[in-house]
Amino acid sequence: MTTKANLEEMVKDLDALTHLECDGLSHQIVHRLTTLGVSCQLFSGIVTLGNHVVRPHYWVVVGDLIIDYRVRRWMQNDPEAPHGVFHPAETDAEYDGIEAKKLTLPTGLMEFLAIPDDVFLAKLAEQTGMNFKD
């Protein structure tokens, strides 16, 4: 059985990919967990908390736990908004969605998609001698 603490340890570093929105980050989380042999589901739908409504939104479900590192961003960083790995009973946020199709891309391509634009452009400029800042 995968515990909350285990899941947090497996995916918490992905939160640093701040250039990825909920869909991109959720796909990265699904890829990581699948690679580690953890069964998970990708969901798409709506999240509500008080006056905050976020739609469309993506998150990951493992058993009875939700993994969501982006909904707080769309709720004006409301500290009541969930963040990370949690059980639905730990938050007043309501998640309502359907299972979405998971990407099945090679690891190298998933890693490429996780590269921030500025890092990619800097490396490209270094290799080609071209200026991508203008």
Buried b (16+ CB within 10 A) or exposed e, 59-88: bbbbeebbbbbbbbebbeebeebbbebbee
Question: pTM for the whole thing?
Answer: 0.88
Query: In the predicted model, is pLDDT for residue 134 greater than 70?
Result: no
Tens digits of per-residue pLDDT, 79-100? 999 999 999 999 999 999 999 9
Instruction: Over range 49-65, report the average pLDDT.
Output: 98
